[in-house]
């Protein structure tokens, strides 16, 4: 793939006509965290893990488009950060992303090289491109399979460990482009908001064919760029200034447009919008617009949700770790269950437990807890916080 209610922030000077001023009344307090956004990020990450764990849950992309939510939240937080000088913000954001990525990438590459894989084994790839594991300007080389299914984990683990990095690459580019995007948004907000999806039209209609090196990057920008810019609209207060009934009328219409566009393909894609990028972009934009228009800016979670306070804090403090490691740990969970199943006594005593996908889901979170305790501190160091084993407060 994050805050008593709205804090009072003095209104800024009026902006020139057609331009967007800085944050307005009703936006998150820049001095603290917005617990509503924290809750949304936690839900998005849990949904991502569930999507990759359970079979037959493609409909989750309809119920809660997590990737769009993650990009919209990141866009809002990036706009808040850019109240400071852009160069310092980019250095800080890059450090917070790259250090946990380096720990993950080094681990995966050591395992790959140990199993005899090299980047030049992949068609059209070379050794220098291994740097893309550490500087995510493009998709890094990785094998579809490595080793054998008779090993500790199945041979597809490397593909799952590599393909997940598309989000890191897209986030990195959105981050680098944010100073320019925010400047454009302040001058031409509606055009900047719609432009990414506008780019998708000729791609979806197959009027243009993108070269292989640009295909995934441009497609991801066109799919989720409007969600990122929607985050700007949330932070600056533009979204809140739009009457709620307009947002809650337009949002479903945008989603329906995407749904109707996708209807002929939904059966063959298993009702998974992630397989239809331009539809995912429309659906996520309409969904996120309504979520962020509600945005109550909680300083603390409401009393009925207070029980979730520490889990939400933990998930947000380990968000990059959860995203990066969960598919690799899913492969480990499968391997553990397979070995337990090979034990006749265990298999006969509780087959219902070993056959349930809930066992895998719980297993991933248990393994993530181990990762938190061993290398999760990398996120604290990257954020220049005091390293903690279990940062749930």
d(C-alpha 293, C-alpha 133), whole Å: 36
d(C-alpha 2, C-alpha 42), whole Å: 7
Strand ranges in 69-204 using DSSP code E only, listed in sequence order: none
The predicted structure's pLDDT at residue 267 = 66
C-beta separation of 218 from 208 below 8 A: no
∠ CA 364-70-15, nearest 5°, is: 160
Q: Tell me, what DSSP letter sits at residue 205? A: T
The predicted structure's pLDDT at residue 174 = 98
Structure tokens, 82: 């850019």
Q: What 3 state SS string does 57-83 have?
A: CCCHHHHCCHHHHHHHHHHHHHHHHCC
Q: Which of 132, 42, 136, 128 is nearest to 94 (CA)?
A: 136
The predicted structure's pLDDT at residue 263 = 73
The predicted structure's pLDDT at residue 150 = 62
Q: Tell me, what DSSP letter sits at residue 120? A: G
Query: Per residue of the chain (393 residues), what is the pLDDT tens digit?
Result: 333 333 333 333 334 334 454 444 344 444 468 999 999 999 999 999 999 999 989 889 899 999 999 999 999 999 999 999 999 999 999 999 999 999 999 999 999 999 999 999 999 899 999 999 999 999 999 999 887 666 677 888 999 999 999 999 999 999 999 999 999 999 999 999 999 999 988 887 778 888 888 889 999 999 999 999 999 999 999 999 999 999 999 999 999 988 887 777 766 666 788 888 888 999 999 999 999 999 898 999 999 999 999 999 999 999 999 999 999 999 999 999 988 888 888 888 888 888 899 999 999 999 999 999 999 999 999 999 999 999 999
C-beta separation of 67 from 284 below 8 A: yes
The predicted structure's pLDDT at residue 13 = 36
Place of tokens 């981050």: 175
Q: Tell me, what DSSP letter sits at residue 14? A: P
Q: Tell me, what DSSP letter sits at residue 17? A: T
Instruction: Flag whether the pTM goes above 0.85.
Output: yes
The predicted structure's pLDDT at residue 332 = 93
C-beta separation of 89 from 82 below 8 A: yes
Q: What is the DSSP string of 313-346?
A: HHHHHTHHHHHHHHHHHHHHHHHHHHHHHTSHHH
The predicted structure's pLDDT at residue 351 = 85
């Amino acid at each position: 793939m994050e805050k008593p209610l709205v804090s009072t922030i003095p209104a800024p000077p009026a902006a020139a006509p057609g331009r967007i001023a800085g944050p307005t009344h009703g936006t998150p307090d820049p001095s603290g965290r917005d617990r509503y956004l924290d809750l949304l990020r936690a839900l998005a990450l849990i949904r991502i893990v569930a999507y990759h764990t359970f079979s037959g849950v493609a409909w989750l992309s309809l119920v809660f488009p997590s990737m769009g939510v993650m990009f919209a939240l990141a866009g809002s937080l990036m706009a808040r950060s850019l109240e400071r000088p852009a160069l310092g913000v980019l250095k800080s954001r890059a450090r917070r992303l790259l250090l946990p990525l380096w720990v993950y990438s080094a681990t995966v590459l050591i395992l790959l090289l140990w199993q005899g894989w090299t980047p030049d084994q992949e068609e059209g790839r070379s050794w220098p491109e291994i740097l893309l594991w550490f500087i995510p300007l493009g998709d890094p080389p990785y094998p579809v399979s490595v080793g054998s299914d008779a090993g500790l984990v199945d041979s597809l683990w490397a593909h799952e460990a590599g393909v997940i990095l598309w989000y890191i690459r897209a986030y990195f580019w959105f981050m680098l482009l944010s100073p320019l995007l925010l400047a454009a948004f302040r001058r031409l907000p509606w055009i900047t908001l719609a432009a990414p999806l506008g780019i998708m039209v000729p791609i979806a209609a197959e009027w243009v064919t993108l070269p292989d090196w640009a295909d995934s990057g441009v497609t991801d920008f066109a799919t989720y760029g409007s969600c990122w810019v929607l985050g700007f609209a949330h932070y600056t207060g533009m979204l809140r200034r739009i009457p709620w009934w307009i947002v809650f009328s337009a949002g479903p219409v945008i989603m329906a447009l995407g749904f109707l566009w996708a209807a002929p393909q939904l059966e063959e894609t298993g009702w998974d919008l992630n397989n239809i990028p331009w539809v995912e972009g429309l659906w996520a934009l309409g969904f996120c617009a309504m979520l962020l228009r509600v945005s109550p800016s909680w300083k603390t979670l409401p009393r009925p949700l207070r029980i979730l306070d520490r889990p939400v804090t933990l998930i947000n403090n380990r968000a990059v770790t959860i995203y990066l490691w969960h598919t690799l740990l899913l492969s480990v969970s499968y391997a553990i269950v397979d070995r337990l199943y090979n034990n006749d006594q265990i298999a006969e005593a509780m087959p219902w437990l070993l056959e349930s996908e809930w066992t895998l889901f719980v297993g991933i979170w248990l393994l993530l807890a181990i990762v938190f305790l061993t290398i999760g501190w990398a996120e604290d160091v990257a954020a220049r916080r005091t390293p903690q084993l279990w940062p749930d407060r």
